[in-house]
Amino acid sequence: MLTKNSYIKTQPVTGYPFGRRRGFYAIVDCNSFYCSCERVFRPDLKEQPVIVLSNNDGCVISMSDEAKKLGITMTVPYFQAKPFIEKHKVETFSSNYNLYGDMSWRVMETLKTIVEEDNVEVYSVDEAFLDLKDIPHEQLYEAALQIRYTVEQWTGVAVSVGVAPTKVLSKVANRLCKKDKGVSNCVMVIDTPEKINDALCRTKVGDIWGVGHQYAEKLKRFGIDDAYQLRCMNEEWARKNLGGVTGLRLIKELKGEPVMQMEDELDEKKMIATTRMFGAPVKTIKDIKEAIATYTSRCAEKLRRQQSAASVVSIFVVPKVAPKDGERFRHGPTISAYTVLPHATSLTHELIKAAVKLVDEVYKDGSLYKKAGVTVSGLVPDESIQGNLFVPESRNNHRMLMGMIDNINFSMRDDALKFAASGTERNWKMRQELRSPRYTSRWDELCETV
């Protein structure tokens, strides 16, 4: 393990390349995360091409290196690539979010045991920043290598580690080491001006963290094609042409000046949403109401988990629109409605009642709908809600009932208890025909070996 006794020294470090002692940041990024999760419980797929599909088995969202070498591209529609995938015997999985969420938690908890918990910032489901300010400069590569080996040994998930003086530069290092895993050993430390300049010259401007497609095209019109050219621009130019303070921070980070500090994990959300694509286009108002009721139940569970209550409920639906000539697909207009509740609540039935009423406002008879969602906002602490003297005592105790329902559903899974408004058949549910077992969260789906 990477402990203070083994790596952190009390004497000052000399020979720091930027003239004064600064810390370094690492970004730990899981390699083809969804595919890696599937391989943990299917070791026979270790060197086989693997892909994972999006919701409703729509398109490819994760690929192993072997699948990339075959020429499969990200976001290609599954129905379009299916003949090629079957021809090359590519193992295909539907998204298994229960498995991926649990494996992500294991990776992040492992990182928090390698370095102090306060030095870990969970950035996404498969990425985390580490503050390595206590690691001596000369031991950065060894420390990064040990981080990689420890995560892979403890969780089975392969990761890449990029280390640099700033967050943006660490993302640059991580991307480069993932491009050539055989040479880099999935670890790259850019800790000198020469290494940083070389890494920036090898990074296209559109591949910089924080530079979107539109800004990339704009920068190319200025004659800026790589990260090194962008770094050479002055700060006033960045402020004027790259979105003000945001562009200024990006330039400073590329120059090795850390301005993006570690951020604490957001324990309480200010808004909670549940949205899903339907497994098949939905036409009847009954199905829409069942879906909205189900998604509202999810929001209510999340509210109670963080001990909050909501005062605003909003819903939306997205109708299916036929693509025009030459278009692969076309987004339909989002139709939404909201209501302000008379008092904040986290009770599922109260939220469902308000949300289902809104369906009548957004539904249009004869239309096909492909997606719907529910958002609750105006959150307040649940403990701040007072009981009502003018209703029976049993109604004031509904929060205890909600707690019992949550506990049963958590232990039994698969909505053992649900409100009738959520329906029983649920023909609109998301399609997951190729989903692997939920190995880590269902007793009846545990991995078995013969």
Query: Residue 262 pLDDT more than 50?
Result: yes
Predicted confidence band at 410 (pLDDT cuts at 50, 70, 90)?
Answer: confident
Query: Residue 396 pLDDT more than 90?
Result: no
Alpha-carbon distance of 319 to 334, in angstroms, equals 7
* Residue 115 and residue 223 in one domain: no
Query: Residue 106 pLDDT more than 80?
Result: yes
Q: And the tokens for 176?
A: 């480069």
Query: Residue 243 pLDDT more than 70?
Result: yes
Residue 114: the pLDDT is 92
Does residue 324 fall inside a structural domain?
yes
* Residue 168 and residue 245 in one domain: no
* Residue 46 and residue 188 in one domain: yes
Predicted confidence band at 330 (pLDDT cuts at 50, 70, 90)?
Answer: low
The pairing of strands 187-189 and 159-164 is: parallel
| pTM (global) more than 0.75 | yes
Contact 330, 324 (CB under 8 A): yes
* Residue 175 and residue 248 in one domain: no
Alpha-carbon distance of 101 to 88, in angstroms, equals 29
The CATH number given to whatever domain includes residue 233 is 1.10.150.20
* Residue 97 and residue 188 in one domain: yes
Residue 349: the pLDDT is 93
* Residue 354 and residue 212 in one domain: no
Predicted confidence band at 15 (pLDDT cuts at 50, 70, 90)?
Answer: very low
Task: Count Cα neighbours of 295 within 13 Å in the Cβ-side half-sphere.
Answer: 31
Overall domain count for the chain:
3
Does residue 187 fall inside a structural domain?
yes
CA distances from 215 to 63, 113, 138 (A): 27, 38, 37
Residue 327: the pLDDT is 61
Q: Which of 195, 221, 247 is the last residue of a domain?
A: 195
Range in 146-150, 276-280, 426-430 the model is least confident about = 426-430
Nearest to 284 by CA among 371, 367, 372, 373: 367
Q: Region 25-40: what's the mean pLDDT?
A: 96
* Residue 174 and residue 47 in one domain: yes
Alpha-carbon distance of 46 to 43, in angstroms, equals 5
Predicted confidence band at 393 (pLDDT cuts at 50, 70, 90)?
Answer: low
Q: Count Cβ atoms within 10 A of the Cβ of residue 287 and give its class: 0-12 exposed, 13-18 middle, 19 or more buried.
A: buried
Query: Residue 74 pLDDT more than 80?
Result: yes
* Residue 394 and residue 261 in one domain: no
Q: Region 26-39: what's the mean pLDDT?
A: 96
* Residue 260 and residue 305 in one domain: no
Higher local confidence (pLDDT), 150 or 234: 150
Q: Which of 172, 195, 218 is the last residue of a domain?
A: 195
Q: Region 67-74: what's the mean pLDDT?
A: 93
Query: Residue 4 pLDDT more than 60?
Result: no
* Residue 191 and residue 207 in one domain: no
Q: State the average pLDDT for the chain.
A: 87
Higher local confidence (pLDDT), 319 or 396: 319
Range in 83-97, 185-199, 246-260, 427-441 the model is least confident about = 427-441
Q: And the tokens for 362?
A: 């957004």
Q: Of all residues in the chain, what percent carry a pLDDT higher than 70?
A: 89
Residue 352: the pLDDT is 96
Q: For 162-172, what is each residue's pLDDT tens digit?
A: 999 999 999 99
Reduced to 3 states (helix: H, G, I; strand: E, B; else coil), residue 366 is coil
Sign of the torsion angle spanned by Cα atoms 219, 220, 222, 224: positive
Contact 160, 174 (CB under 8 A): yes
Reduced to 3 states (helix: H, G, I; strand: E, B; else coil), residue 166 is coil
Q: Of all residues in the chain, what percent carry a pLDDT higher than 90?
A: 58
Q: For 133-174, what is each residue's pLDDT tens digit?
A: 888 988 999 999 999 999 999 999 999 999 999 999 999 999
Sheet holding 187-189, edge to edge: 120-124, 127-131, 25-30, 159-164, 187-189
Does residue 442 fall inside a structural domain?
no
Residue 9: the pLDDT is 31
Provide the domain limits for residue 45: 1-195
Q: For 353-373, what is each residue's pLDDT tens digit?
A: 999 999 999 999 988 999 999
* Residue 289 and residue 240 in one domain: no
Higher local confidence (pLDDT), 349 or 3: 349
Amino acid at site 428: W
Alpha-carbon distance of 191 to 164, in angstroms, equals 6
Residue 362: the pLDDT is 94
* Residue 255 and residue 279 in one domain: no
Q: Region 36-50: what's the mean pLDDT?
A: 94
Nearest to 318 by CA among 336, 338, 295: 336
Does residue 316 fall inside a structural domain?
yes
Residues, the chain? 450
The CA-based angle 98-101-106, given to 5 degrees, is 125
Per DSSP, what are the bridge partners of residue 337? 315
Residue 320: the pLDDT is 86
3-state SS of 254-295 is HCCCCCCCCCCCCCCCCCEEEEEEEEEEECCHHHHHHHHHHH
Range in 15-19, 257-261, 320-324, 371-375 the model is least confident about = 15-19
